A and B are shown apart, each in its own frame.
Chain A
Amino acid sequence: MADESGAITGAAPPKRPAAELAIDVEQVSLWYGTFQALFEVDLQVQSGSITALIGPSGCGKSTLLRSVNRINERLGDYVRTTGSIRVMGHDVLADGVDLAQLRKQVGMVFQRPNPLPLSIRENVLFGHRLHRADEKFSKADENQIVEEALTEVLLWDEVKDRLGQRATELSLEAQQKLCIARLLPVKPKVILMDEPTSALDPKATETLEHLLWELKGEYTILIVTHNMAQARRASEETAFMLLGRMVEHRSTEDLFLTPREQETADYIEGRYG
């Protein structure tokens, strides 16, 4: 699958024109209270690509990911962010940003599958109903939306006869697929994934990675992973972080074959946790 990696070759990805960038993080620092978790981080993610974010535990991968859709702000004033984050050219840290609109553009998949305690059908329609509350949709429209989303994540055949079942009763693999499916009806530009396969068994992990390649192109995917093999298999570019800093960001192939920084080399050879 790695041969599908995009056209980017060579050294550090050159500065691309803003239009091609789905995510553009510039000089972002972040504090939890007095603890600084991110130090002037830069990260550019090309539209329609899959980028893996790797690094040892506690290096700030989740923190960075959670800044992009600003879900970090659930913690309140305790979190302080400086720098700039642009999604599809829009500054998302600006004051006037409507979080609902931002999160419609930027979907998120969590480490533990977290379907809502509703039926499968209701889960798929949840975001759709939030964002298009003022439009009328017939039952047939909704059925079609549900079918399309579930088909796209390769779940339709498994659940089509029991859409009324509670989503929390599904297998973890199916739950995680559902968590991806429920993002699709509102057509996000970016999907953030925070170790989406870490609760799954190897077989389920494989199908999910396969799914990523299917979704690539239509959606820009930024995926955090602990699993280096996964980063190699399932991404085109890889960014390596250490202690809150961005160390190296290149095409996946280059980063793993010819890492430029010593820290990167040490990490991919398994010398850190």
Chain B
Amino acid sequence: MIQIDSTEIKKQKKLALTWAITFLILFPVLITLGLLMRLRQGEITETGPSEFFSYMTLHGLGMAGILFTFAFAALWYLNSTRYVRLNLKFGWFLYFLILIGVVGLLYGTLIGKFGPGWYMLYPLPFKGTFWPAWATKVSVISLIILGVAWLLGILHMIYALAKQYGGLTNLLGWQYLGKKENITEIPSVVLITTISLIPGVFALIIGAAMLIMYLLQSFEPSLAFDPLMMKNMVMFFGHTLVNITMYCAVGWVYALLPEFTHREWKVNKAVVYSWNASFFFILFAYLHHLYMDFVQPTSLQYLGQVVSYSSAIPATGITMFGVIAQVYHAKMKWSIIPLMFLFGMAGWAIGGFAAVVDSTIALNSSLHNTLWVPAHFHTYMLMGVVLFIFGFLFYLFSGKDKEEKDGLGKAGFWIFVLGSYGFLLMFYLGGLNSVPRRYSNYSGLEIDHVRETGAHLAQCAALFVGVLLVGLILMYLSLFCKLIQQKVSTKESNS
């Protein structure tokens, strides 16, 4: 194991704090777009369709983007301050590259009104659009910039880790499976970083290929690609990226939770088997997005359901039971960080359960593209990944004592959780009442029951978003205080 000196740690921390603050600025902006959508769907405002759909596109791409980016940045920080040297300058370079991509995307969607939805199903960006062709070009180029930045970052991290731990197979933990003694041990974050990010490499390569095809078509409109192939590509790209965001976040829970339970959480055979299985499942789960495309080869449809069901086994059996083994009778304090990790696991499990229900082909016929879909993925993003991220942020922002009393933060946490589940419940009820997703308003639904239910649920959801925002503000205040304290105490120790 290498020693990383304290000036390097300080510098890496500065980078991590910059990522964190950027995240904290963008996140509420994107939530506001979500609120605006719910207000329009509830007939409280009268946003026009082109505004609504460009907000929707920016909200979806933006949220998926900042969550993945932050998850990546958090793993970069943990790995670079504990296990391996990562190039700091390169880290800053990635930061600015991603910033360029974000600005381009904001420009394309807010000014250009680019609005084909976050997975921009081919050939929607080129046919009957309400936005100009330049907006498509700017947005696609911005996405390519983001993709390239992520790809470079991932490759740098995996390369550095592989060099440190003696090759890729060691990173995958295969040395644990043989009978040899004296193997190179790896920390669990390293294993999870690898397993999460390698599928990301595949996803980004396919995604880049797809975006380049889009770019070609935007310059040469006579081109035509097979929509079924394009749908497979975009779902592989999008699903995989969102999926590994969750796994990356689980990575730092493995690393940080033991500091509060005072029990080790090490890599062993079961963990290796489980994560290698997940690696395989991550790559094929996307198939469940094409169930209602009956022309897709039927064997792939079956595979989609089998893989979606199977992915629940390592996730619950190893990771969630791992959490139980961590906290059960551990005589620990429920300070805000472990609390966020525990609730994050619960959000992942609840959203995951609803996802497994939806990944049942027989049930998908009645849930596909209803509000059930945003219901389940918002559950594990908002009540899973976002809570893991806030747990990490509280860890990063607090000083030496990570378990200090934090009434403000905790009050914020409970209000945030309450508001979020209320907001999510309205999505679930919408799905169960067959309310379609991605409708700017429900007045065109010529069946009274669906139209009225849709609008009422949206109104209640908007109210709960208000609650969630109050909680969020309290958590921000608490984080802000911690940051100030940290600045003061480092100044004191320096002087």
Q: Do A and B interact with each other, yes or no? A: no
What residues of chain B have their CB less than 8 Å away from a CB belonging to chain A?
A: none
What residues of chain A have their CB less than 8 Å away from a CB belonging to chain B?
A: none
